[in-house]
Amino acid sequence: MKNKQISILGCGWLGLPLAKHFIAKNYTVKGSTTSAEKVETLKEVGIQPYVFTLGTTENDELLIDFFKNSDVIVINFPPKRVPNIEEIYQKQIQTILPFTNETQRVIFVSSTSVYQNTNDWVTEDQHNQPEKASGKAVFAVENLLKATLKNRLTILRFAGLFGYDRVPRRFLANKKDVANGKAPINMIHQDDCIGLIQAITDRNVWGEIINGCADEHPLREEFYTLAAKKIGLTPPKFKDTDEVSFKKIANMKSKELLDYSYQYPDPMVFVI
């Protein structure tokens, strides 16, 4: 029986360790990057490397080979922070769609930025009205992919990413008059991102939208104060006000549908 094959579009902070994880599971892994300098790094860990930039028709031959014979495709790159972010992100995704076929399954790594602040829990059934340009761009691509791929697609909406070299200890340190101190935060560890993607492929869960977020939601003020203190920086000073704007990401569907237990259920473990 041949090894399963996966194509990971975007081998950055999450994509590279995700590729390593699947290689350890005896998958054949194709990985893309926009930087020729990263090719050796990808090769060293056993990834078949591809270098291209989406949004043009100059990479057709590369894209054909990149997607060829893959059982699963992971779309894992965020929209660029540019003025016409929504238009460009959709164009990039539209570039790849002709090269997928009806036997392939697709995971789109999305973001909880698609949810507006409700000052309450939000679930996957939430009616979405993204507030920021990046959230609008991601939500537009979700809808594009759903219309095209239908039940071959599962969307994973990740909360704020952390883990290993991305622990927000310096974030907000030394700042004053910081707002929203009493707001709960939403975060997910890199290992849990990978665990959820693996669970989707193992259980063949397709045609779904799933939130990925740690169980616990410490207050912003508490988390970033302790984070700064842990490395000897001056903690941020938060505004003394009752005004707060937040959303609290519910993860029950990920646990029930995928039978998944979070490896890092409480982000506070990294700052205490």
Task: Please report the pLDDT score of residue 2 as a whole number.
Answer: 66
How do residues 13-37 score in pLDDT, each as one tens digit?
999 999 999 999 999 999 999 999 9
How do residues 94-108 score in pLDDT, each as one tens digit?
999 999 999 999 999
Which structural domain range is residue 209 located in? 78-165+187-216+246-264
pLDDT at 244 over 80: yes
Task: Please report the pLDDT score of residue 214 as a whole number.
Answer: 98
Average pLDDT, the chain: 94
Q: Is residue 134 part of a domain?
A: yes
Separation between Cα atoms, residue 155 and residue 140, nearest integer Å: 13
Beta strands 160-162; 248-249: pairing state: unpaired
What is the distance, to the nearest Å, from the Cα of residue 94 to the centroid of all Cα atoms in its chain?
19
Q: Is residue 257 part of a domain?
A: yes
Q: Is residue 207 part of a domain?
A: yes
> Which position has the higher pLDDT, 7 or 176?
7
Q: Is residue 119 part of a domain?
A: yes
Q: Is residue 9 part of a domain?
A: no
pLDDT at 1 over 60: no
Task: Please report the pLDDT score of residue 245 as a whole number.
Answer: 94
Q: Is residue 70 part of a domain?
A: no
pLDDT at 142 over 90: yes
**Three-state DSSP class for 163?**
strand
β-partners of residue 75 are 9, 108
CA atoms within 13 A on the CB side of 253: 16
Q: Is residue 67 part of a domain?
A: no
Task: Please report the pLDDT score of residue 92 as a whole number.
Answer: 94
What total of structural domains would you count in the chain? 1
> Which position has the higher pLDDT, 229 or 117?
117
**CATH number where 144 lies:** 3.40.50.720
CB atoms within 10 A of CB 244: 15
DSSP H or E segment with residue 230: helix 220-230
Q: Is residue 138 part of a domain?
A: yes
pLDDT at 169 over 70: no
Query: What is the reported pTM?
Result: 0.95
Residue percentage of the chain with pLDDT more than 70: 99
Task: Please report the pLDDT score of residue 271 as a whole number.
Answer: 84
Cα→Cα distances 240→178, 205, 217, Å: 9, 45, 21
> Which position has the higher pLDDT, 242 or 64?
64
Q: Name the pLDDT band for 231 (thresholds 50, 70, 90).
A: confident
How do residues 66-89 score in pLDDT, each as one tens digit?
999 999 999 999 998 888 999 999
